[in-house]
Structure 1
Amino acid sequence: MGKHLQDNPARGVLGRRDELPSHETVYLTPEEPRLLRERAQTPYFSLIIWTLTASGIRWGELVELRRKDLARTR
């Protein structure tokens, strides 16, 4: 069987918790999502950016969406 580490080799790499930067919420201006969509490499990426910014859905929620999860309103 393999050897077990006695200590976490990443311990202290980022510093102590009280020294870490705070994660303040950052909001996009109305212009920024449009610029992101325009600069997307493919229409597929543009649609992903639109979905994320227009709905407020998080990335993990988006990748787990399935066709059956969406309701058509026609």
Structure 2
Amino acid sequence: CKIIDQLYEANTFILGFSGGEPLLRKDIFEIFQYASKKMNIALATNGIFITPQIAEKLKDAGVGYVQISNDYN
């Protein structure tokens, strides 16, 4: 949360979560909830974990933008 606070103080208005798969973090929804009180939240994901229930949790946590990659080999 310290980094989120520092970004907010630096007038950051959009925070994107990407790299690896952010939804693998057990605390990601708590992080989203905290960060969304200070700035807009974006998520880049491969979409594997997106279910209707997860989509609802993302919405409730304040995630305003979700990018799903379709880069499959």
TM-score (norm 2): 0.25
As a proportion of its length, which structure holds more strand? 2
